[in-house]
């Protein structure tokens, strides 16, 4: 009986040390949630542009993993372990770590794509340049 308890203790200790090494920190749920949060911010920016009849931006800080909608004073943080990539018009890049996606009063946009990734898993938040439609692609 004591031998069995010793073996179980060894297995428990080994699994407690080995299992965390295989996890990469970001669950699929967190990754999808980050993509949805970005899509929601983009839709807010589009609706602000149409409602107030002025250009509106969603500014994305890739290095700081946060974004901000033009006139809204709040910054929205994203999980720190996600990888972000921004593809947008050259004139809307502040530098290599900060850029924006612009929405026009007619609902259109300069278009772009934000990739939210962790390892092999990724979601792409796509903005259509003509209609300003925001979609999440797997």
Q: What is the 3-state secondary structure (H, E, C) of 38-78?
A: HHHHHHHHHHHHHHHCCCEEEEEECCCCEEEECCCCCCEEC
* pTM tops 0.85, yes or no: no
Q: Which two tokens stand for residue 126?
A: 């796509």
Q: Which CATH superfamily is domain 26-137 in?
A: minor pseudopilin epsh domain (3.55.40.10)
pLDDT of 57 higher than 90 = yes
Most distant CA pair in the chain: distance in Å?
Answer: 77
pLDDT of 20 higher than 70 = no
DSSP for residue 7: H
pLDDT of 104 higher than 80 = yes
């Amino acid at each position: 009986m004591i031998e069995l308890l010793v073996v179980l203790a060894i297995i428990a200790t080994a699994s407690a040390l080995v299992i965390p090494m295989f996890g990469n920190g970001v669950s699929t749920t967190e990754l999808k949630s980050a993509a949805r949060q970005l899509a929601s911010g983009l839709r807010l920016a589009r609706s602000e542009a149409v409602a107030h009849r002025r250009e509106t931006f969603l500014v994305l800080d890739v290095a700081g993993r946060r974004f901000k909608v033009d006139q809204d004073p709040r910054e929205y943080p994203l999980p720190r372990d996600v990888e972000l990539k921004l593809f947008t018009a050259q004139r809307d890049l502040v530098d290599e770590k900060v850029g924006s996606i612009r929405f026009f009063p007619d609902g259109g946009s300069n278009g772009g794509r934000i990739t939210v990734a962790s390892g092999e898993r990724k979601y792409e938040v796509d903005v259509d340049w003509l209609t300003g439609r925001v979609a999440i692609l797997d």
